[in-house]
Amino acid sequence: MLKPGHILILALVAAAGTLLAIRLLKAVSVAAERERAGACLALAPDNVQEARKAPDFALPDLRGKKRRLSDYRGKVVLLSFWATWCPPCVEELPSLARLQSLMKGEEGFVLLIVSVDDSAKAVRAFFEKHGAPVGPEAVLIDPSRKVPASFGTVKFPETYLIDRSGLVRHRFINKRDWSGEAALQCLRSQM
């Protein structure tokens, strides 16, 4: 039979062990978050702010089907604001197409390209002339430019990395090589 003093000592040891376990879990969580963020630093993200909720939107794809950003919750989304008249956008497009091909078998990833061209017709004509490097479901049309504005986009191309919970983790202004090893590591670190 335990004496009251022994019970008190056991309770204190248990409480101290619990506190240490909580601190350890917190430290591991912080380290994992830093590792995820660090994997994307090679791409030189343009933001160093805390993650924020991505504004939801609904836009038609090239086939006219409405797509909502919130439909992709639970997946990592690479959201690129783009235009056919923007030279850096056009230069970046092949790497986005290669990225989509490289990530095709990975269930937890979605590429969305939001065109701010005046019409879907202009985008379709561009793809007919230059080849359609990405699927029509990946290209959304926003001639009003309201969706990019809701994200704070002022330059094109501008790309956002959105995590599985719908938080914007990184913003990238100007073109990047999205098919390179650094991009793949960054995206996979979020999955």
Long-range contacts of 175-179 (CB under 8 A, 24+ apart): 175/88, 175/89, 175/91, 175/92, 175/95, 176/43, 176/92, 176/95, 177/95, 178/78, 178/92, 178/95, 178/96, 178/98, 178/99, 179/94, 179/95, 179/96, 179/98, 179/99, 179/102
In this prediction, residue 46 carries a pLDDT of 82
pLDDT score of 35 more than 50:
no
Average pLDDT over residues 163-171: 94
Q: Is the pLDDT score of 24 beyond 70? A: no
Specify the pLDDT at position 80: 97
- Mean pLDDT is lowest, of 16-20, 49-53, 139-143, 180-184, for 16-20
Kindly tell me if the per-residue pLDDT of 101 is higher than 80. yes
Spatial CA neighbour of 144 closest among 114, 123, 173: 114
Alpha carbon distance 75, 101 (integer Å): 17
Residue 123: predicted pLDDT: 93
Instruction: Report the range of poorest mean pLDDT among 10-19, 66-75, 118-127, 131-140.
Output: 10-19
pLDDT at 44 over 70: yes
User: DSSP labels for 91-149?
Assistant: HHHHHHHHHHHHTTT-TTEEEEEEE-SS-HHHHHHHHHHH---S-GGGEEE-TT-HHHH
Question: Is 138 within 8 Å of 112 (Cβ atoms)?
Answer: yes
Q: Binning pLDDT at 50, 70 and 90, where does residue 29 land?
A: very low
Mean pLDDT of the chain: 85
**Mean pLDDT of all residues in 36-53:** 76
Domains and CATH numbers, the chain: 42-190 (3.40.30.10)
> Does the global pTM surpass 0.85?
no
Query: CB atoms < 10 A from the CB of 48, how many?
Result: 8
Query: Looking at residue 61, what DSSP letter applies?
Result: B
